[in-house]
Structure 1
Amino acid sequence: MTTATILTISDTRTLDNDKSGQTIATALATAEISVSQRLVVPDDIVAIQSAFLKEEQTDPDIIITNGGTGIARRDVTFDALEPLLPVTIPGFGEQFRQISFEEIGTHALASRALAGFNVREQLCFVLPGSTSACQTALQQLILPELHHLLFERRK
């Protein structure tokens, strides 16, 4: 069975009120992907990297983060995680922004969503904190393609 970890990056959310993290967990469970862990960490580069590196050691197939992918000063998720993904999948971010543009217009330009593989060959998705954006990414990109991406990388 495919396993996943969900990491929410937010200064204001907890596990109890993390609607995006719960949305991701529900969508994964519906797709028969086991969620082994859900965490919330603050918008802090060291805290994000520390939690991410700790979670990758639990050996999930997929790590999905949400939150902190915009361009505000506190949005440091991209800066924290991009260096930890030596193999990126540029088409994910490009397509996500295109789909988002169709939904929300030019505000999509501020998204720094990305995907790639870390050094442990785990598939990682770095998503915005918006519940709607997470639903879009999951339904239109992640769930339709994740098994193919894992298969290709594991050849």
Structure 2
Amino acid sequence: MDKQIPHPTPENISLSCAVITVSDTRTPETDKSGQLLQELLKNAEHSVTAYIIIKDEKLEVVKHLQHLCQIEFLDAVILNGGTGIAPRDTTYDAIENLLEKTLPGFGELFRWLSYQEIGSRAIASRAVAGTYQGKLVFSLPGSRNAVRLGMEKLILPELVHLRRQLHGI
């Protein structure tokens, strides 16, 4: 059975994206999830305008997200890391009140897809998405498998469509 897309995207366009890895321990050399995010975006013919690694500190996440979202030509920010419930996991807490509109289906579908791969441990994920200052914002767990799942199954198939909706195109 073929899935019908209700509003097909007429042509694929290249979007400008920023990648933020939230981690107390990763470096550009050891950040396999951040590297994968960049690779998947580039393979989908999107550009990576910025890539940063920041400490898992709520104020750092807020500061960098606010700064990036002031870049006029930027379309989306994709964060990875800090979405669990450990004391040092602050990404969700940092961005939940910044998001102007949330996409509840993103987190719901991400956890459903994760459940199929890792079972009940998927309930600990606080993956979230929404909009902030005219930009799309996605927050994924920091594991490579979670990044691949979120990007291939949810973000990349809908990125251009969501941007068009956001800007009324």
* Equivalence for 1:153: 166
**TM-score, with structure 1 as normaliser:** 0.97
| Residues 1:137 and 2:150 aligned together | yes
* Equivalence for 2:75: 61
Instruction: Report deviation, 1:108.
Output: 0.3
Question: SS of the residue aligned with 1:115?
Answer: strand
Residue segments in structure 1 that go unaligned for 5+ positions in a row? none
| Residues 1:25 and 2:38 aligned together | yes
| Residues 1:106 and 2:125 aligned together | no
- For residues 95-116 of structure 1, the C-alpha deviation after alignment (integer angstroms, 9 at most, x for no partner) is 0000000000000000000000
* Equivalence for 1:124: 137
| Residues 1:6 and 2:19 aligned together | yes
* Equivalence for 1:90: 104
> In 2, distance between residues paired with 1:3 and 1:95?
24
The one-letter amino acid paired with 2:86 is: A
The one-letter amino acid paired with 1:121 is: G
**TM-score, with structure 2 as normaliser:** 0.89
- For residues 8-49 of structure 1, the C-alpha deviation after alignment (integer angstroms, 9 at most, x for no partner) is 000000112110000000000000000011000001011111
- Would you identify which runs of 4 or more consecutive aligned residues in structure 1 move more than 6 Å? none
- For residues 39-91 of structure 1, the C-alpha deviation after alignment (integer angstroms, 9 at most, x for no partner) is 00001011111111111122310100000000111101000011111100000
> In 1, distance between residues paired with 2:100 and 2:49?
24
**Count of aligned positions:** 154
Identity %: 45
> In 1, distance between residues paired with 2:49 and 2:108?
29
* Equivalence for 2:87: 73
> In 1, distance between residues paired with 2:29 and 2:16?
22
Instruction: Report deviation, 1:138.
Output: 0.4
RMSD (CA atoms): 0.8
The one-letter amino acid paired with 1:147 is: V
> In 2, distance between residues paired with 1:31 and 1:145?
12
Question: SS of the residue aligned with 1:83?
Answer: coil
Question: SS of the residue aligned with 1:106?
Answer: helix
- Mean Cα displacement is larger for which, 47-56 or 18-27? 47-56
> In 2, distance between residues paired with 1:43 and 1:145?
28
Residue segments in structure 2 that go unaligned for 5+ positions in a row? 1-13
> In 1, distance between residues paired with 2:28 and 2:98?
25
